[in-house]
Amino acid sequence: MSKIIFGLVGGLASGKEETKKYLVNKYNAQDCRFSTSLRDVLNRVTIPVTRENLQKISTVLRANFGEDLLAKAIANDASKLDSDIVVIDGVRRPTDIEHLNELPNFFLIKIDADPKIRYERSVLRNENEGDSKKTFEEFMNDHNSEADSLIPVVMEQAKYSINNNGTFEELHKQIDDLVNKLLK
């Protein structure tokens, strides 16, 4: 089989980043992330990289250059990577899937975990400014934002699912099992 492309979809702090890191470290996968180009723009124009600002810049770009702008870019990036396994982090809209499904050996993987567990992870990792100070209610409200509201719809389209309520070892075993299944 030629290159396998994993698209990771899941709610905030569900384990997409850990899944990506594990695939990169164990299987020498290459990765691309939808938010990378958005973070690049915000950093370049010296605007703080907050969840709110990432959502704003995404909305502005898609409204002015097409809803599928980021999906086209990430599909193009993934197709050019020279690795047996490519991981795309941050799939969140149906238009993302339209373009990614055109790639050979693309598999959408749903990563899910209990909301309380995801909240605790989000506070601990403090990936975006202000995450460590959010209440559970604010965290849950983030799921209703324009950027995240369609994630459940996209998750329903996933052929494979990983439950990340447990330990790193349990997550890694599920990833290994999936990789072995798809490489056969």
> What is the 8-class DSSP label of residue 7?
E
Range of the domain at 161: 4-183
Q: Is the pLDDT of residue 144 over 80?
A: no
CA distance 116 to 165: 10
Q: Count CB neighbours of 174 within 10 A.
A: 20
Residues 105 and 88: beta-carbon distance below 8 Å = no
Residues 54 and 145: beta-carbon distance below 8 Å = no
The 10s digit of each residue's pLDDT in 12-63 is: 889 999 999 999 999 999 999 888 889 999 999 999 998 889 989 999 999 9
Query: Who has greater pLDDT, 65 or 183?
Result: 65
Report the pLDDT value the prediction gives residue 113, as an integer from 0 to 100: 96
What's the CATH code of the domain at 107? 3.40.50.300
Torsion, Cα of 28, 29, 35, 38 (10° steps): 70
> What is the 8-class DSSP label of residue 50?
-
Q: Count CB neighbours of 112 within 10 A.
A: 19
Residues 83 and 28: beta-carbon distance below 8 Å = yes
Q: Is the pLDDT of residue 1 over 60?
A: no
Report the pLDDT value the prediction gives residue 140, as an integer from 0 to 100: 83
Q: How many residues are recorded in the chain?
A: 184
Number of folded domains that form the chain: 1
The 10s digit of each residue's pLDDT in 67-91 is: 999 999 999 999 999 999 999 998 9
| DSSP helix/strand/coil, 111 | strand
Report the pLDDT value the prediction gives residue 69, as an integer from 0 to 100: 92
